Amino acid sequence: MNKLIGISTGIKNVDMAPGNIPCVVINNDFVNLCNSYGSTAVIIGPQSNLNNIDISNLDGLIVSGGGDINPNMYGQDIEDKTSRISDNRDSTELKLFKSAENNMIKTLAICRGNQLLNVYKEGTLYQDLYDSGFTEINHDKPFEDARSHIHDIHIDKDSKLYSLVEEEKISVNSIHHQGINTLGKDLKITAKSPDGVIEGIETTNDWEAIGIQWHPENMVEDKYSKLIFEWLCS
């Protein structure tokens, strides 16, 4: 059965006719991975002036990485290192989470998506890990290292994530400077890096949603990345 997998993303200015214009952009590895499991990728850009977003026709949802979430959404002022905020994207993806939960749509939240899943569930974030005392590991590696294993994570054996990868320790990439602080409602921590940064969360209610801080779409040959996408598309 051909399943529909929604993938949320942001907007970037691109040079194309008739000039430099804002475009909805996505890492095509997402599309290729969904296609490799017989699923059709449906790209969802930031939506304007919609009070409600209905994705009940989708079989799965990916909330992808991107810029920082507006800290006003979790009760904080904007600090110096918080950047690339898109209120329109924040609003859109919160509505996607709401529709996914209401319709029990399997959800994979990646990097920024992982953080936003926590904010959706009323949790908070560290606006900068280094400034918050996490100095042992450089989590904010450049995009050029996206296909490299940067550090290990430890996975809780009592988690959906462990049931997928069947390993207590795996190595992941790392392209983020923010992270989860206070855990939101109906969530549990599933993975941490050696310095204590939360690398994975998942829902504890009937909605099947997994959040991960790394980018499996950039490690397409990694067997654990494949297992995660296989779960989403199955």
Q: Which structure tokens are listed for 57?
A: 């026709």
For residues 144 and 99, is the Cβ–Cβ distance under 8 A? no
- Which of 101, 177, 217, 233 is the catalytic position? 217
For residue 50, CA distances in Å to 11, 40, 46, 88 come to: 17, 25, 10, 10
- What distance in Å separates the CA atoms of residue 79 and residue 102, rounded to the nearest whole number? 33
Q: Which two tokens mark 171?
A: 């190595």
Task: Indicate if 217 belongs to the active site.
Answer: yes
Active site residue 154: no
* Nearest-angstrom CA–CA distance, 209 and 204: 9
Q: What SS3 class is residue 31?
A: helix
Give catalytic status of residue 233 as yes or no: no
Catalytic residue among 93, 111, 202, 233: 111
| Catalytic residue from among 151, 176, 177, 215 | 215
Query: Which residues are annotated as catalytic?
Result: 111, 215, 217
